[in-house]
Structure formats: C-alpha cells, structure tokens
Amino acid sequence: MRHVLRHVLDTSHIFCSERPSTSHNTVRLDGVMAKFVLFLRGVNVGGVKILMKDLAALLSDAGYSQVKTVLASGNAILEAPHDNASVLREQCEALLAQHYSRAIPCLVFTADEVHELAEDFPVQLPDANHEYHRYLSLCSSQEDAHQLHLAAMALDSVQQTALRGRALCWVSPKGQSLDTPVAKLVAAESRKYLITTRNLNTLVKLSTIIRAQ
C-alpha cells in the first residue's frame, strides 16, 4: 500500500528521490513544513462514504505529517514539504481517486486563510430572537468566489451575503439550510464551480486546532 500511494504522489516530483525541477518552485528550501487544510466535497452524503480514520491513514501513509481529521464532513489538517496549495490539491485528488476508484474533488486552504475565515464573521444575524446557522461556501479561487457573490447579490432576496477571500459568507435560519435562496444558488452553482460549504463552527474548530499544534 505504501509503495502504491507513494507512486501517486511521486508523479508531482514533490516526494521523489531526485532533485525536483526548479520550474515547479514548490519545495521549501528552508525545510519548514507548510500547514494546510484539505476540504473534501460531497463526502458522507449522497452515497460517498469515507471514514475519517481511513482518510488520516491514507494521507499519513502518503508522506504528509501532522495529519488530523476534523468532523465527518471531510476536513483534514496536514503539513506538506512545499507551499503550493494547487500542487497539494492535485496530489490529494490523485491519491483519493486511486484509493477510492472515483473522483473526489478537494479544496486546499492555507492555515492563514482558515484563521482569517474563522474570525469576525462578516454577516450580521438578521434577528436576535431566532437561531441561525452561519455558513461559508468555499471556492477554488477568488474569482469563483467573486462570481458566486455577484450571483447572490442579484437574487431577489433579503438574505445577506459577504465575500471574504475565497469564501461566500451567508446565514440561514436553523431548519432551512437547504431551502433559502442563497442555499439553492450555491447548490446550482456547484455544478459550474468547485464549491463546498462549511458551518462557521467547523472553521473555528479547525483554526483552534491549528493554533494549538
């Protein structure tokens, strides 16, 4: 198993024994490991089941360090010997595809991005007398997030949204998370863009764990 998984990642020239091409410009010359958070899209819903202990073992066996999965929605903190989030996403998607024999889209955020998203949620709760969920729809690029925000602002709805980095921030009354105009928009736009949504509490938990490591 270790040989097979190592081979998947070797194709990116990050974990190979030969000196990587300087054109990739990903391996950190200072030897410091870069910390990332991996967000899997659509796991443990709709028939795609991944046990978090298996995901942690898979990533660790592939050569990543300090791997810790958080909640069952498909979130993993890890350290990589390079600081290129795009390369890491390609590596992890290849690893998951080979192991599970199906494509499992991923988003990769740096630790700094996660800290920023976890702090000072930019959308106010509409009514203090009601309970709400606070959500962040994570996108693969700032441009995708910008386009998603523009589409949300064009809705004929009083539901407020805000753009922060690569995430669209929005709130939903508890019990209506799939029924609001923004929720339906995000679901529809997910066919066009790589988007996965997390509760603010998940981002706060991830940020707290990273700071404690």
Domain containing residue 148: CATH number: 3.30.70.100
pLDDT at 20: 30
**Residues 153, 107 share a domain:** no
Total structural domains within the chain = 2
Do 186 and 103 fall into the same domain?
Answer: no
Instruction: Provide the total of helices (H) and of strands (E) in the chain, helices listed first.
Output: 7, 8
pTM (predicted TM-score): 0.85
Nearest CA-CA partner of 66 in 8, 111, 26, 1: 111
- Predicted confidence at residue 27, as pLDDT, reads 52
Q: Give the pLDDT of residue 26.
A: 53
How is 141-190 classified by DSSP, letter by letter?
A: SHHHHHHHHHHHHTSSS---EEEETTEEEEEEETT-TTTSHHHHHHHHHT
Q: Note down pLDDT in tens along the chain; length 213 residues.
A: 343 344 444 433 333 323 233 234 455 445 568 999 999 999 987 768 999 999 999 999 999 999 999 999 999 999 999 999 999 999 999 999 999 999 999 999 999 999 999 999 999 998 887 899 999 999 999 999 999 999 999 998 889 999 999 999 999 999 999 999 999 999 999 999 999 999 999 999 999 999 999
Give pLDDT, residue 8.
Answer: 43
Q: Which of 167, 169, 146 is nearest to 159 (CA)?
A: 169
CATH number at residue 20: 3.30.70.1280
pLDDT at 158: 86
Last residue of a domain, one of 58, 93, 112: 112
The reply to whether 10 and 96 lie within a common domain is: yes
Are 103 and 187 within one domain?
Answer: no
Of 70, 97, 112, which closes a domain? 112
Separation of alpha carbons 55 and 37, rounded Å? 13
Range of the domain at 167: 119-212
Residue 128 confidence (pLDDT): 80
Give the end of a domain, one of 112, 131, 166.
112
Strand order across the 167-173 sheet: 161-164, 167-173, 132-139, 195-199
Q: Check if the beta carbon of residue 133 is closer than 8 Å to that of residue 183.
A: no
- AA identity, residue 171: V
Helix axis angle, 181-189 relative to 142-153, nearest 10°? 140
